[in-house]
């Protein structure tokens, strides 16, 4: 009696994965059905493997660009450095911005303080009484601009290391030195220019300044010194905030990040 053997699909010993043989049961499946079943299983396996690889690739791309790794990651640090170097603002543009802000700061002070009736700076009172082709705000802005430019130049605030945005601590340190020197220069400049201004109400009256300008306290040496100190502090505060923010913006630094770093450094 002749015996019929169904084809066998098995993986023989030493055979590669490409040379597969399928072992079918002796009954229940024909060759065509078994072949179709194997092809469907093999195709499903390849599709699942391809889908997993594609999903992993998409997640890897999204994770690289959307997720934030740890700050110590060298790759992210290098990427930030490259981005900061590309967006670096030329030092000439930073200097031009410093000049514009320095000349605009006295105008802002006069508009906010004098316009609201809170206080009239002493430099504005004396400069307005003397005829000149240049407005009092521009005259005072010239003094502030010279003080800031000298301070920033000495502190190397226009160097590449202070404007490339790669080292936030270096930027803050140079801005600190600049503001410290600028405060002293404004103080000495105001004191020196005050020597050529009236010291009492009689001298101010000869310049055409009305006694009503000084109010009920009048004008004398003590009042002059007090108001000069007040003017110096206003100039230091306004110019320091505006120009420090401008330098931080040119360096590509986040102001919130700068503030958080200052808080960490000053917190005991």
pLDDT tens for 111-136 read: 999 888 889 999 999 998 888 889 99
As a whole number of angstroms, the distance between CA 93 and CA 113 comes to: 30
User: What are 9's strand-pairing partners?
Assistant: 22
Q: How far is CA 123 from the centre of its chain?
A: 34
Q: Are residues 60 and 126 in the same domain?
A: no
| Domain membership flag for residue 79 | no
For residue 49, what are the domain limits? 31-67
Q: Are residues 45 and 145 in the same domain?
A: no
As a whole number of angstroms, the distance between CA 244 and CA 254 comes to: 12
Tell me the CA distances in angstroms from 183 to 176, 187, 237, one per residue in order: 11, 6, 9
pLDDT tens digit sequence for 41-79: 444 455 445 545 555 554 444 344 333 333 433 444 443
Q: Are residues 59 and 174 in the same domain?
A: no
Residue 152, classed as helix, strand or coil, is helix
Q: Are residues 152 and 229 in the same domain?
A: yes
| Domain membership flag for residue 121 | yes
Instruction: Give the DSSP letter of residue 212.
Output: G
**Least confident window among 7-11, 49-53, 147-151:** 7-11
Q: How many domains does the chain have?
A: 2
Q: Are residues 63 and 138 in the same domain?
A: no
Q: pLDDT at position 179, please?
A: 96
Q: pLDDT at position 38, please?
A: 46
| Domain membership flag for residue 240 | yes
Q: Are residues 104 and 204 in the same domain?
A: yes
């Amino acid at each position: 009696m002749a015996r019929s053997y169904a084809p066998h699909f098995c993986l023989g010993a030493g055979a590669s994965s490409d040379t597969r043989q399928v072992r079918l049961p002796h009954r229940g499946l024909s060759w065509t059905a078994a072949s179709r079943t194997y092809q469907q299983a093999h195709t499903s396996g390849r599709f699942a493997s391809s889908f997993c690889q594609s999903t992993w690739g998409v997640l890897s791309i999204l994770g690289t660009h959307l997720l934030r790794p740890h700050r110590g990651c060298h790759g992210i640090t290098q990427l930030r450095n490259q981005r900061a170097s590309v967006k670096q603002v030329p030092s000439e543009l930073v200097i031009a911005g410093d000049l514009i802000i320095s000349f605009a700061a006295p105008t802002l002070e006069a508009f906010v303080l004098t316009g609201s009736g809170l206080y009239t700076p002493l430099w504005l009172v004396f400069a307005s009484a003397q005829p000149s082709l240049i407005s009092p705000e521009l005259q005072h802005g010239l003094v502030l601009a010279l003080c800031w430019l000298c301070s920033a130049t000495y502190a190397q605030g226009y160097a590449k290391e202070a404007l490339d945005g790669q080292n936030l601590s270096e930027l803050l340190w140079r801005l600190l030195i600049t503001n410290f020197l600028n405060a002293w220069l404004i103080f000495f400049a105001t004191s020196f220019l005050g020597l050529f201004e009236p010291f009492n109400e009689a001298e101010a009256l000869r310049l055409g300044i009305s006694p009503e300008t000084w109010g009920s306290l009048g004008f004398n040496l003590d009042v002059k010194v007090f108001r000069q100190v007040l003017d110096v502090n206003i100039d230091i505060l306004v110019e320091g905030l505006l120009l420090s923010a401008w330098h931080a913006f040119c360096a590509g630094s986040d102001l919130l990040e700068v503030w958080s770093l200052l808080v960490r450094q000053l917190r005991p």
